[in-house]
Amino acid sequence: MNSSGLDGAVRVATIRHTSGLPLPGCYVIDAAHELGEPVLSFDAKLNKAAQEMGLSTFI
């Protein structure tokens, strides 16, 4: 998993553009997607964005 470099920057920027989340949340979604893991967060907006992108969430 690597959110650095051009590929990572493009993925995170795309998540930011489509979700409107702040950058820290975009990195959470990117990491979960790249690792094939669910998102664990108390942030309802982050969970909703993750679910809309096809990721599983807890909480």
pLDDT in tens, 8-29: 999 999 999 999 999 999 999 9
Q: Which residue ranges make up each domain of the chain?
A: 5-58
**Residue 2 scores a pLDDT above 90:** no
pTM of the model: 0.87
According to the 3-state scheme, what is the secondary structure of 26-41? HHHHHHHHHHCCCEEC
Tokens encoding 17: 């553009």
Tokens encoding 6: 């051009």
Which pLDDT belongs to residue 4?
66
User: In terms of C-beta distances under 8 Å and separation of at least 24 residues, what long-range contacts does 49-52 make, across chains too?
Assistant: 49/15, 49/19, 49/20, 49/21, 49/25, 52/19
